[in-house]
Structure 1
């Protein structure tokens, strides 16, 4: 007999329960972005990390980025203008919610060189690596 077990918003055959890790199944079927805060991509290359935050409809003045010790916090709050507050709407669906995302940075980041840009709805935060953390080419060490 093959029963269905509800796990989150998805149903899996009952034989999966003891056989497959449920959190792995949720990770495969649930998106990483759940709609409460903008989705982010973290990209690493030889010289830096980059955090890309998908935030269309905002302006660069809507963001605040703070660094406290090794914790980088990205926040945004969209305020309504006075004209919008005084208008009478028959239906209003546009809502701008605030969000905040915090990332713990590794010690390899050169915090004095962090920079940010906002273009085409994406906030890009460049996190350069310290010189000593950058990848070095392989070399052969002679035995003396």
Structure 2
């Protein structure tokens, strides 16, 4: 499970850990293939950013239909799951090289408490899922006049 941190605030050791995670994520579909009924498990690439008003999660999902994607939020966790299906004509081909992942994916992100969960929006365009997670509006203290 990953939590949100500003990219520029990440110390060198944490950056190296992320690089290792990405390395093993790239290997994972091949090592997990046997235990999932012949389906691969993979992790799509994701970018997360923050504005004053919201968190923005963008997930690359080329070749996936909108009906095969599920976005949920519960207990401060945003979960994006789905499946990229292997076309029948590709199953029977004698593949020389296969770099595109097929099968199920699941990504979970822990978000801060101060979000408006009932206003979360997701849109899917050109193979990119964008999830907009609005922050709760923080009220500024009221200045009280002293008489």
Normalised TM-score (structure 1): 0.63
Within a 5 Å distance, the mapping from 1:10-21 to structure 2 comes to none
Following superposition, the deviation at residue 71 of structure 1 comes to 1.1
Q: Deviations over 1:113-141 (max 9, x none)?
A: 001011122110000111227xx6xx9x6
For structure 2, which runs of at least 5 residues remain unmatched after alignment? 1-10, 27-41
Cα 1:54–1:143 shift into 2, 3 Å = same
Deviation at 1:44, TM superposition (A): 0.7
- Once the two structures are TM-superposed, the CA of residue 88 in structure 1 deviates from its matched residue by 3.8
Q: What 5-or-longer segments of structure 1 have no aligned partner?
A: 1-20
Counterpart-to-counterpart distance in 2, 1:33 and 1:114: 27
**Equivalence map 1:1-144=2 (5 Å):** 23=13, 26=16, 30=19, 33-34=22-23, 35=26, 36-80=42-86, 84=88, 88-91=92-95, 93=98, 95-132=101-138, 144=146
- Cα RMSD of the aligned pairs, angstroms, is 3.3
Tell me by how many angstroms 1:80 deviates. Answer: 4.3
Q: Structure 1 or 2: larger helix share? A: 2
Alpha-carbon distance change, 22 to 119 in structure 1, aligned in 2, over 3 angstroms: closer
Larger CA Rg, structure 1 vs 2? 1
> How many residues end up aligned between the 2 structures?
117
Query: Following the alignment from structure 1 to structure 2, what is the Cα–Cα distance between the partners of residues 31 and 41?
Result: 17
Q: CA deviation at 1:68?
A: 1.7
Task: Give the TM-score, by structure 2 length.
Answer: 0.62
